[in-house]
Amino acid sequence: MLTETVVREALDRFFDSTAHGNEGHADVERLVIEGTKIQFRVKIVHRHVVRVFGQRVTVYSLTTDVEGNVDVTNPDPDKLSYTIQIPGGSISVSLLDVIQVLAALA
> For residue range 62-72, what is the model confidence (pLDDT) as tens digits?
999 999 999 99
- CB of 64 closer than 8 Å to CB of 48: no
Q: What is the pLDDT of residue 30?
A: 97
What are phi and psi for residue 54, nearest 5 degrees? 80, -5
Question: Could you tell me which residues come within 8 angstroms of residue 71 by beta carbon, excluding any fewer than 6 positions away?
Answer: 36, 37
pLDDT band at residue 35 under the 50/70/90 scheme: very high
Domains in the chain, number? 1
CB neighbours (10 Å) of residue 11? 23
DSSP letter at 21?
Answer: S
Looking at the chain, the whole-number percentage of residues with pLDDT higher than 90 is 75
Quote the domain boundaries for residue 51: 4-105
The H or E element that residue 61 is part of is strand 55-71
pLDDT for 106 beyond 80: no
Query: What's the whole-number mean pLDDT along residues 29-41?
Result: 95
Q: Is the pLDDT of residue 32 over 80?
A: yes
Look up the pTM and report it: 0.86
